[in-house]
Structure formats: C-alpha cells, structure tokens
C-alpha cells in the first residue's frame, strides 16, 4: 500500500540487511509560481516584439549589409585590436602583478603608481591623448627608431597603446588576486625542493592562480571587444561600429546599422564565451575530481536520459 505524502523529491532507500522498505512515491510539490512567471514573461516578450515590429525600422537592410566587405573589415579590426590589446594587457599585467608583490620597494611602488594612473583615468581620455601625442612630442626617438610622431601614432597604434596599457592596469589586479589565492604551502614545498622564486612562480603558483584569473579575464576580454568601439571616436580607428555607422550615414539606414553592430557584438561575445568555458575547464584539472561536462556532453546525457529527471540539479 502506498500512502501519498507531501514530501518533495524521491529519496533512495539505503540498502539494509532487512528487506528494503517500499520506495516513496510521493506527489511532488506543485510549483505554481513557475507557471505564473512563464505567462508574465511571455506577455512581456510579446509586447516588446510587437513594439519593435511596429517601429520605423527597415529590418531588411540588416541582412543586406551583415556580410558586406566594409562591415567584415571593421569586424576584423575589432577582433584584431581586442586580441592584441588583451595580449599586451595580459603580459604587462602579469609583470606588474609580480612587481607589485615583490619585496623590492621601488618596483612595487612603480607598479602601484602605474595602476593608480591608468585605472584612475577614463580610457576614452587615454585614447585621445595617445592619438594626439604629436601635439606635445612632434618626434619619436627610441634610439633605434626615429620618426615623426604623426607617422608613428596611427589610429591603430593609438588604439593599441590606449586599450592595451589601460587593460594592463586591470589585469595586474586580477593576476595579483590570483597569485595571492594560492596556498602558501605550495610556495614552501616548491622552495624546499630547491626551486627558485621565478621557477616557483612559473611552474607552481601561476598555473594554480589561473583558476582564479581566467573567469575575470574572460570578462575583461568581452569588455575589451566592446570598449574598442571607443577607439573609433577617440582615435579614428575603423572598427566594427565605425564601419557600420559609415554605411548608415551613406545609405540612410542609421539605426539599422546600429542594430547590425549589436548583432555582431553579440555573436563575437558569445563565441568568445564558449572559448572561456573550455579554458576554465582546462585549468580546473586536478582541483576537481570530475571535470564539468562540455555542452556537447550535456546534450548527449540529456538525450540518453530524457524524461529521467532528478539527480543532477
């Protein structure tokens, strides 16, 4: 005989020496809130879609230009400047973090000052200053390289320096947090084996710090993809937004081209988020007994066990 109870969720009966008691077949708690919220969300989505469908937008123009040469060029420029600026930010960020944590008071205060300066000023202003550097330094002379500043500081160079150096300030704080999250015992064990400070950092501390560093770095990179749009107006760098706007100005489809840019930014950020998932999974090895399933593995599991709810939340 089964007695309906109000217990939520089926529970496994522990195996015992006595005959196993009958499994509980309870009626689950009804989640009325879920039904109500579904209705509310559907109504809101309908209203929003309706509003945009009725708006004075020529949606047909978006697919027409989605893959046009100048949009793709701008897209490439956005990706290129983001990757390069991030690379500068990452390398310089690690260097600054190590400097900041070093016992040498000179290097640590240099790193502190750098972060203070670049994190404390708008990146838009930094980009404008780099681009207009020729006004205060007409010539660049690095000893091995001399040129007129206006020839050297192209929109690309200004965007690269502006975004990269600004990013380094943020990255150094992220890397510092990561390094400090690694247990002191790891450094001691490594030193006890005769490894030097540098080796310890490279082989033992940084690989473990990556688990803490990667998620906010992914965040930074998505931010970078979007912030690179500032380089358009501050340094005339022709990236995605600017090339979309140029088309809009010529064709008269101003808002449509903004939507087009929005679409591309979403595609870009989605694509790189997937990359971040796999990177996090890689650096989780050793610290989790079981790595999280990839989306592909999840689909396989779900298809195999369809209807078999419960277990994994």
Partner 1 sequence: MTPMVKSEGVHKSFGATHVLKGIDLEVAPREVFCLVGPSGSGKSTFLRCINHLEKINAGRLSVDGQLVGYRQKGDKLYELKEREVAAQRRDIGMVFQRFNLFPHMTAVENVMEAPVQVKRESKAAARERAVKLLDRVGLGDKTNNYPAQLSGGQQQRVAIARALAMQPKLMLFDEPTSALDPELVGEVLDVMRGLAEDGMTMIVVTHEMGFAREVGDSIVFMDDGVVVESGHPREVLTNPRHERTKSFLSKVL
User: What residues form DSSP beta bridges with 139?
Assistant: 148
CB 29 within 8 A of CB 8: yes
Output the smallest distance, CB 107 to partner 1, in A: 15
Which spans of this chain sit near partner 1 (rule: CB under 8 A)?
183, 185-186, 188-197, 199, 203-204, 207-208, 283, 285-289
The length of the chain is 313
In the block, tokens 């020496």 appear at 17
Least separation, in Å, of the C-beta of 214 and partner 1? 13
**Bridge partners of residue 210, in order along the sequence:** none
The distance of closest approach from Cβ of residue 274 to partner 1 in the complex, given in angstroms and rounded to an integer, is: 23
The nearer residue to partner 1, 199 or 226, going by C-beta atoms, is 199
Query: For residues 200 and 228, which CB has a smaller minimum distance to partner 1 in the complex?
Result: 200
For the CB of residue 174, give the shortest distance to partner 1 in the complex, in Å: 19
Nearer to partner 1 (CB atom), residue 112 or residue 283: 283
Alpha helices per DSSP H over 193-294: 197-199, 206-227, 230-235, 240-251, 254-283
| Interacting residues of 86 by C-beta distance below 8 A, sequence separation 6+ | 164, 167, 220, 221, 224
**Could you tell me if residue 87 is left (phi over 0), alpha (psi between -120 and 50 degrees) or otherwise beta?**
alpha
Smaller CB distance to partner 1: residue 45 or 193? 193
Least distance in Å: CB of 217 to partner 1? 17
Closer by beta carbon to partner 1, 121 or else 196: 196
Q: How far is Cα 28 from Cα 6, in angstroms, rounded to an integer?
A: 7
């Amino acid at each position: 005989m089964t007695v309906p109870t109000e217990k939520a969720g089926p529970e496994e009966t522990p195996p015992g020496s006595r005959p196993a008691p009958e499994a509980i077949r309870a009626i689950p708690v009804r989640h009325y809130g879920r039904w109500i919220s579904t209705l509310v969300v559907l109504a809101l989505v309908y209203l929003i879609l309706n509003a945009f469908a009725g708006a004075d937008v020529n949606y047909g123009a978006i697919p027409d230009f989605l893959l046009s040469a100048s949009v793709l060029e701008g897209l490439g420029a956005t990706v290129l400047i983001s990757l390069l600026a991030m690379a500068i930010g990452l390398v310089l960020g690690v260097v600054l973090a190590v400097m900041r944590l070093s016992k040498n008071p000179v290097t640590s205060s240099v790193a502190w000052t750098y972060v203070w300066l670049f994190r404390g000023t708008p990146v838009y202003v930094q980009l404008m200053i780099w681009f207009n550097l020729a006004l205060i330094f007409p010539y660049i002379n690095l000893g091995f390289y001399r040129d007129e500043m206006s020839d050297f500081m192209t929109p690309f160079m200004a965007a690269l320096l502006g975004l990269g150096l600004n990013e380094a300030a943020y990255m150094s704080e992220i890397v510092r947090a990561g390094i400090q999250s690694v247990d002191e015992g790891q450094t001691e064990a490594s030193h006890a084996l005769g490894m030097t400070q540098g080796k310890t950092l490279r082989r033992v501390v940084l690989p473990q710090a990556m688990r803490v560093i990667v998620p906010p770095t992914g965040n930074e990179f998505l931010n970078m993809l979007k912030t690179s749009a500032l380089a358009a107006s501050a340094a005339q760098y022709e990236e995605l937004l600017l090339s979309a706007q140029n088309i809009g100005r010529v064709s008269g489809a101003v808002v449509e081209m903004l939507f087009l840019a929005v679409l591309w930014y979403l595609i870009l950020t989605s694509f790189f988020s997937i990359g971040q998932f796999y990177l996090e999974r890689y650096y989780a090895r050793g610290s989790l007994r079981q790595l999280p399933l990839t989306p592909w593995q999840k689909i396989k599991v779900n298809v195999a066990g369809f209807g078999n709810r419960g277990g994994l939340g």
